Structures are given as C-alpha cells and as structure tokens.
Amino acid sequence: MMGQAVVRRLRVVLARHVESVPVPWPVETHAGAIGPMRRDGAGPRRRHTVFRPVVVTALAAGLLAGTIAPAVASAGSSTAVPKAAAGQDRPELQRAIQAFVDAGFLGVQLRVHDERGEWAGSAGVRKLGASAKPPGNGHFWVGSVTKTFVATVVLQLVAEGKIGLDAPVAGYLPKLGLDRRITVRMLLQHTSGLFNYTGDLNSEGTWVPGLPSTGKEWLDNRFHSYRPQELVRFALSKPAKFAPGTDWSYSNTNYTLARLLIEKVAGRSFDAELKARIVRPLGLKGTVVPGNRTQLPSPYAHGYFRHQDAGQWKVADVSRQNPSLLAGAGDMISTTQDLQTFFSALNRGRLLPAKLQAEMREPHAKSDPLYGRYGLGLFVKDLGPACGTVLNHNGSPPAGYAALMYSSPDGSKTLTASVTAGDAPFDLAAYPKLLDGLVKAAFCDGPAAS
C-alpha cells in the first residue's frame, strides 16, 4: 500500500497534468483531478535502433474521481474484434482489466498487439444501470494522448525544413509576445517555463488556479467554447515558472502553442494537417479533432464525474463535454484500434526520419521520474530486465475518461485502452498498481509482478 507521501506526490503530478494526460500516469487535458485535485493533465520513424523510451502520463484526476461500484466482468468483447483476436485465450489480460472494475472503475476496453497477434477485450459495463459491455472498439476522449499526435506533426514539419526545432517560437508567432528564448523544442519537451492554463504550482508549491478544469466549476462550465489564442493569452498573463530551458514542468500551454505553430506554418487548421499527414495515410477511421463538438461518435461507453454539491455527493454523465479547453493538449477523440495503428507506425519509423525519432525519445533529465522521463511528446520508461523499455503517453480530459497508449521501441508490441469512471469513490493509491499490473501483463514475459 502506498504511503501518504506518495499519494500526495501523485496528486501533485496529476494536478500538473490536468487535461490532458496521463495518470497513472500523467494526466492530460490534460490535467485531471482526483477528488479535489485536477487532471492534466501525452512521431514516427524509419527503422532504427531504438532507445529505451517509455512512458506514462498521468490519467486525468477527474477521471479517477468518479468511478463505479464493482461491475460485472466481461469476457473479451466481440464487438468489432477480429475472430483471430477474439479467439485467443489471454486470461492474464482479462484479469488485469477486471482488476480496474473491481477497484471501482465502470468499464475498460483493451487492445494488445504482440507476437501472438491481436487481442481485444473489455470488462465492466458501457453505462450505469445497464448490463451491456463497453464496445470493443468504441470512441473515447483521449486527453493528453493528443500531445503525441501534435508532436509528430511538428517534427514532420521540422523534417521538411519548415520549422526549426531550436528556433524561437516568437519568430513564427510574433503577435503573442512570447519570450524569445522559448524554442520549439522547449514546447514539445515542457521546458518553456510557461504557466499551465488549467492550473499550476508556483515556486513555493502553492496551487495557482487556472481556467475551470476540475470539480463542479468545470462541470458547470464543460460546454464552454475556448479559442486556442484565448488559452495562451491567459497563461501568458501569469508569471513564468522558470527561465526557458532551465527546468521542466508539464504544461498544456506548450501544446496549445504547438498547435498554433502548426497552423501558422502550414497555413491551414491542425485538423486538416493531421488528416493529410496521419489520419488518411494510416487509414484511421475513428480519430477526430472535434473542435467545439461535444458528442462522441457511436459507439461509445459513458463516463461519469463524481462530485460534491452542497455537501452531497452527486454523479453526472460527462460523455458530452466541449474539449476546446485543451486545444492541442488533450482535445482529440479516437479508438483503441486507431491508437494502436498510429503508435505502432510511429515507433516502426513510418512517420519520422531516424534522427528526429531519436530526438523524440531523448528523455529530459529533470522531468518528473514518477512515470518515466519525458522526451518530445512521449514518455520513456524502463520496466526492468524482464520487460524492457516502453514508450507511452496516457491521457484524460477533465473527467470521466482515461486513455492508455504504450509501445515497445520497435512498435511490434502495443497496448491501447480506454478506462471509464462511474459512480463509486476511488482510492488513488490503488491506481499505480492497477496500471503496473496491466502494463506488465502485456509487456513482460510471465505473470505480472505483484
């Protein structure tokens, strides 16, 4: 069982990743919050000897905040699952996702691709009060996983000579008044020092509120529409955390700026660039940059937010939410199949040249080691000699959902998943162990370590 000090540390990390992110991994928005805390807040290459990247991004706290009472386990869901995958006997994977449900989450959909082929399964239920399982390849809010897509597009533009990785961002976006010491690399690496617009810790460790991104304030405001420039200007109205390039701090502001950079250089929307560079070439069928769209495409599992209102605990269905709060940092929609296709292609070298792929996987020494070290749009984590290194970015919007995306360095083994919260309270201390068990069941030889 984790000590209180570790739980406090998890809350701090999650707060920084409101969004987006990843939680247990870094959170995204992507900052998310668990209980009173917030969530955050997570490129391609040619065949090449890979580093040991890994990663984990904190799951949105909000996501963790609302969860359900133990639901009924489901054998692998057959919805949209190839016969070969459905026919595989992978009890260790089924047990690992059932553990999430037993701990209080509403549902899980998982897809693992490895030397044995592809396995897809689910546990729990699709909606409170229903018995149907989560869809085998349903749509979900991916939170900070968005950051890996954004970083990949930026690095493709770098490869084409349209952006300089170490060039000042102010040279491309002069009207924002950015510190000219901030480079493109610093945005992707979270070393710019810019305030995180979903809330951040100051130098004394005191929480400085940002735009509504957690609790009932976010719930009441969840359909509000934001423009990326509005998010950046809010962040720039706050003092910087440190001088550019001198430290590391996860900030959604960096990736909203990266999105604006893409649009300025490409001369069209990020959505159009993503479709041309990644979505269409890879045949992604369920990946969307929704803008102000609040509805997930069907099929999808419902996610819920457990919150206090006038001293009473209440639960709200947050399947519908406006993700523009996390523009470029945690606003995308996808499926486990699309995430698997994208992350495998990226790590197999199909999207970026080898030199930039290596840059993407170069971990920053000062990045928070709780979930691995951060490179450019992904985390790098060493699971030990029996498991090796994994690359990853997880994510979550402010509430209801979490997305998991992992890969071996060569892209041959992947794990992608969606976790939904329900109406039960959740013990934050249990999350890292659940995630660790799931990742090790997929990436380690033999049973996961206890």
Q: State the catalytic residues.
A: 144
- Minimal CA–CA distance to 99: which of 82, 123, 76? 123
Q: Compute the distance between CA of residue 101 and CA of residue 258 in angstroms, rounded to an integer.
A: 36
Residue 344 corresponds to which tokens in the numbers above?
């495998």
Residue 339, SS3 per DSSP? helix
Strands (E) in 351-429, as ranges, are 373-374, 379-382, 389-392, 401-407, 414-420
Q: What is the largest CA-CA distance in the chain?
A: 57
- Residues facing 315 on adjacent strands: 306
- Residues facing 380 on adjacent strands: 373, 391
Residue 308 corresponds to which tokens in the numbers above?
């206090």
Contact 445, 386 (CB under 8 A): yes
Q: Compute the distance between CA of residue 207 and CA of residue 436 in angstroms, rounded to an integer.
A: 28
State which H helix or E strand residue 80 sits in: none
Q: Cα separations (Å) of 165 from 127, 366, 416, 429?
A: 44, 20, 29, 38
